[in-house]
């Protein structure tokens, strides 16, 4: 799997999990102490993320880093 494919996959999972929890991008950004455009870029599959930050996202989204990177569509929310 190429880097751009991984970013798009991660973005889909981040968005779906955020929506499952009823969070806006703004609320998620505030919880993570990041700016909302960063959340938007990750969900769009264009932003980069470190492993440390991935761990923080997983914690706030009450999931695991591996679930966020899974090739299975495990989150329920529709992303389109």
pLDDT digits (tens, 9 = 90+) for 8-29: 999 999 999 999 999 999 999 9
pLDDT 10s digits, 22-65: 999 999 999 999 999 999 999 999 999 999 999 999 999 999 99
The burial class, CB within 10 Å (0-12 / 13-18 / 19+), for 27 is: middle
Question: CA gyration radius for the chain?
Answer: 11
Domains and their CATH numbers in the chain: 3-68 (1.10.260.40)
């Amino acid at each position: 799997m190429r880097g751009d494919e991984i970013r798009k996959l991660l973005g889909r999972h981040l968005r779906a999990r955020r929506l499952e929890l009823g969070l806006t991008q703004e609320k998620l950004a505030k919880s993570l102490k990041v700016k909302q455009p960063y959340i938007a870029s990750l969900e769009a599959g264009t932003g980069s993320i470190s492993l440390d930050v991935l761990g923080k996202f997983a914690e706030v989204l009450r999931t695991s880093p591996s679930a966020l990177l899974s090739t299975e569509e495990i989150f329920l929310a529709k992303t389109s």
